[in-house]
Amino acid sequence: MNGMTAFFRDSTVQIAFWGLVKIVVILFVMLGVVAYLTFFERKIAGHIQSRPGPNLVGPWGLFQPLADILKLFLKEEFIPDRANKILFHVAPILAVAPALTSFAVVPIGPDFIVTDVNVGLLVFLAMSSLGVYALTLAGWSSNNKYALLGGLRSAAQMVSYELALGLSTIGVILLAGSLSLVDIVHAQSGAFTLGPLALPRWFVFTQPVAFVIFLVCAFAETNRAPFDLPEGESELVGGFHTEYSSMKWAMFFLGEYMNMLTISSITVTLFLGGWNGPWLPDSLKFLWFFGKLFALIFLFMWVRWTFPRLRYDQLMAFGWKVLLPIALLNVLATGTAVYWVGNR
């Protein structure tokens, strides 16, 4: 018994234990949130298209996600003949795991973060760059030409937009002087004041160009409209997930929504001040974080249901010839400004 107590008092064990507790909490909260995000997406889509959306299962259709999950569990699992069996199983896992992993470095509140890594932003970039494999491998292992085309499109698209995404964060890193997301949030506390007017010190105001580039790349990285070419159903049937059914298909769906949550959280952290906000005490500051997060997710859904899909060559030209040069210019301008302010 004494051995047990000593074991639990050990600091390494404590860190591991509380880390695990936080991971489990975040996992289950995210699963619940994602289930209801699908509901909100359908409601918002319904509103935009002047129809009610799901409204029959439960009051206001609130139990619709539960019915959907039950249906997905009961559907027949189908694996195409001559598919690469191992990769066909691995791809859906790869769709969800990176998004969950990068959530570990997001500071949700002043005291709530799974782990403060000194290169937290790089953890996010690394995980989002690994997310490409899910779509590419799903497309290739299905042994289906439409799936393969979807997978190839996703590989080209995500690698192209990752460059601009990474470069747009450099402005923020230069201003914050750190790669740790906690430090970046702290660098955005306080406000610029001019008499009675006050503007929060969020990086969206000091780095507006980087914010726009990051947001556009975020749409592209999550493969949502107007950048949903990997699954463009009018030309590729279902794109990379054509051959997937039942819970494996649901994993891709889950991955898309989790990626949306993760990339929105990072946008809030980098540009919208994270949990910074007036009035609330420190213990409730996480409400600011969630408020900003859901405003951004609403923007994601709004864009998806109101913009048409880009053509493939437009997509590539926009990424390489517009976003990348602007992101590079932004790095140059920010660097010059930081140097000038520092040496004045």
Partner 1 sequence: MITVLFVAFAAILVVSSLLVILHRSPVTSALFLVLAFCSLAAIYLLLHAEFIGLVQVVVYAGAIMVLFLFVIMYLNLGQDVESGATVVLRRGLGWLLGAALVAEGALLLAGRLAPGPAAPPALAAAAGAGNTQQIGLLLYSRYLFPFEITSIILLVAMIGVIVIARGLREAAPAEPAAASAPAGAAAPDDAPGEDA
Note the residues at the interface with partner 1 (CB under 8 A). Answer: 12, 84, 87, 117-119, 122-123, 125-126, 128-130, 132-133, 136-137, 139-140, 148, 151-152, 155-156, 158-160, 162-163, 166, 179, 313, 316, 320
User: Shortest Cβ distance from residue 239 to partner 1 (Å)?
Assistant: 14
Residue 334 CB neighbours (<10 A)? 20
| 54 versus 151: smaller Cβ distance to partner 1 | 151
Phi/psi at 157 (5° precision): -65, -45
Interatomic CA distance for residues 191 and 184, integer angstroms = 15
| 116 versus 282: smaller Cβ distance to partner 1 | 116
User: Shortest Cβ distance from residue 338 to partner 1 (Å)?
Assistant: 14
| 130 versus 209: smaller Cβ distance to partner 1 | 130
Tokens of 205: 């105001």
Contact 293, 268 (CB under 8 A): yes
| 118 versus 336: smaller Cβ distance to partner 1 | 118
Contact 107, 188 (CB under 8 A): no
User: Shortest Cβ distance from residue 24 to partner 1 (Å)?
Assistant: 22
Contact 181, 172 (CB under 8 A): no
| 137 versus 236: smaller Cβ distance to partner 1 | 137
| 179 versus 185: smaller Cβ distance to partner 1 | 179
User: Shortest Cβ distance from residue 15 to partner 1 (Å)?
Assistant: 11
User: In terms of DSSP bridges, do strands 191-194 and 197-200 run parallel, antiparallel, or are they unpaired?
Assistant: antiparallel
User: Shortest Cβ distance from residue 140 to partner 1 (Å)?
Assistant: 5
Instruction: Report whether the peptide linkage leading into residue 54 is cis, meaning its omega lies within 30 degrees of zero.
Output: no
| 57 versus 117: smaller Cβ distance to partner 1 | 117
User: Shortest Cβ distance from residue 87 to partner 1 (Å)?
Assistant: 8
User: Shortest Cβ distance from residue 66 to partner 1 (Å)?
Assistant: 36
Interatomic CA distance for residues 232 and 73, integer angstroms = 25
Give me the residue label for tokens 């959530």. Answer: 103
User: Shortest Cβ distance from residue 316 to partner 1 (Å)?
Assistant: 6
Contact 263, 108 (CB under 8 A): no
| 10 versus 77: smaller Cβ distance to partner 1 | 10
| DSSP string across 6-20 | HHHHSHHHHHHHHHH
Interatomic CA distance for residues 44 and 53, integer angstroms = 8
Interatomic CA distance for residues 324 and 319, integer angstroms = 6
Interatomic CA distance for residues 89 and 234, integer angstroms = 26
End-to-end CA distance of the chain: 64
